[in-house]
Amino acid sequence: MRIAILGFGSVGQGIARALLAKDLDIIVTGLADSRSGIINPTGIDLAAALARKEEGGPCGDVNISPADVVARADYDLLVEVTPTNVDDGEPALGHIQKALMRRKHVVTSNKGPIALAYPELRDLAAANGVFLRYEATVCGAIPLIHAMQEGIAGNTISRLYGIFNGTCNYILTRMAEDSLTYEQALAEARELGYAEADPTYDVEGIDAGIKLVILANTVLDMQATLKDVERTGITLLTPEALRLAEDQDCTIRLIGEIVPAAGVLRVSPRLIAKTHSLVVEGTLNAVTVETDLAGDLTFIGKGAGSTETASAIIGDLLYIRDRHVQSS
């Protein structure tokens, strides 16, 4: 199968390294970052492209744009791994639409287009006879969407709740462990590269809320937007609150929750027993799904990272590769 990769940052490079390390019968015929692109129908030299990025250069030819790669490269599947924009999903949304209209499968880690326009994209993919998959948009390496769509298909899900944002989990873990203030723990998370310069998206619960919207709309048959998520972040939490929790053998975690039958989507800091399986440390994610047939299932794993996110993308690629009918 021939793929084009749009976005060559942490995730894009993680995918390239995995493709170089493993023999997956996949060749990359298109590649772009924000400034450049490469089109090569016989296969791009990924090691050379990685070396150019390591040196701080563009990955390819500055006369070839990302839009050129989407429109002109010869590929079966577009991997869309450019930055998330949750206001209008662009430019990723337009690129995904264009690829689907060209009858190309799409795999993405980009939450914007999936949270904002999933029904339209799903219908466009179906109308063109191609797959659209997005496992990496929720909880990084954890194959939660795959498990819910396939592994526990046929179960009724009464509730789903857990830790969807590793940055907040890191901050809360550090506040509880060493009595750091919110500001101190955030500064540490920034130093370690876990938090952005503007952490609003994480600490106000927006990132977790978007992931709930994706799960609600794509696997729970709901129709939600970010406005439907009741949302409280962690910015006002004090070390005293964590100490009080500690006195009751509890801790505080930012929990995202969906109760499908009640139409509830909620992100808020919650008191939780320290022995609860969702109390994971550091940047881990953890999600419990309550079902009628399978009982409760808890998934724990890395919610972000170059290799970990590439793992989810590769899983989607292979799912499609094994179902893809070669057109030429």
Ligand X SMILES: NC(=O)c1ccc[n+]([C@@H]2O[C@H](COP(=O)([O-])OP(=O)(O)OC[C@H]3O[C@@H](n4cnc5c(N)ncnc54)[C@H](OP(=O)(O)O)[C@@H]3O)[C@@H](O)[C@H]2O)c1
Query: Residues in the site for ligand X, rule: CB under 6 A?
Result: 6-12, 32-35, 66, 81-84, 91, 109-111, 136, 140, 304-305, 309
Q: Give me the catalytic one of 53, 98, 111, 211.
A: 211
Instruction: Output the six-digit token pair for 328.
Output: 């030429």
C-alpha–C-alpha distance, residues 133 and 138, integer Å: 12
C-alpha–C-alpha distance, residues 39 and 32, integer Å: 9
Least spacing, CB of residue 182 vs ligand X, in Å: 23
Least spacing, CB of residue 58 vs ligand X, in Å: 6
C-alpha–C-alpha distance, residues 113 and 214, integer Å: 10
Q: Taking Cα atoms as reference points, which of 2, 18, 214 lies closest to residue 104?
A: 2
Q: What are phi and psi of 175, to 5 degrees?
A: -65, -40
Nearer to ligand X, 39 or 237 (CB): 39
Q: What are phi and psi of 78, to 5 degrees?
A: -100, 125
Least spacing, CB of residue 147 vs ligand X, in Å: 17
Nearer to ligand X, 11 or 258 (CB): 11
Q: To the nearest 10°, the Cα dihedral for 247, 178, 211, 31? A: -170
Catalytic residue status for 104: no
Nearer to ligand X, 193 or 295 (CB): 193
Nearer to ligand X, 173 or 285 (CB): 285
Nearer to ligand X, 8 or 75 (CB): 8
Least spacing, CB of residue 195 vs ligand X, in Å: 13
- Answer yes or no: are the C-beta atoms of 254 and 168 closer than 8 Å: yes
- Identity of the amino acid at 113: P
Instruction: Output the six-digit token pair for 314.
Output: 């590769």
C-alpha–C-alpha distance, residues 130 and 124, integer Å: 9
Least spacing, CB of residue 37 vs ligand X, in Å: 8
Residues annotated as catalytic are 211
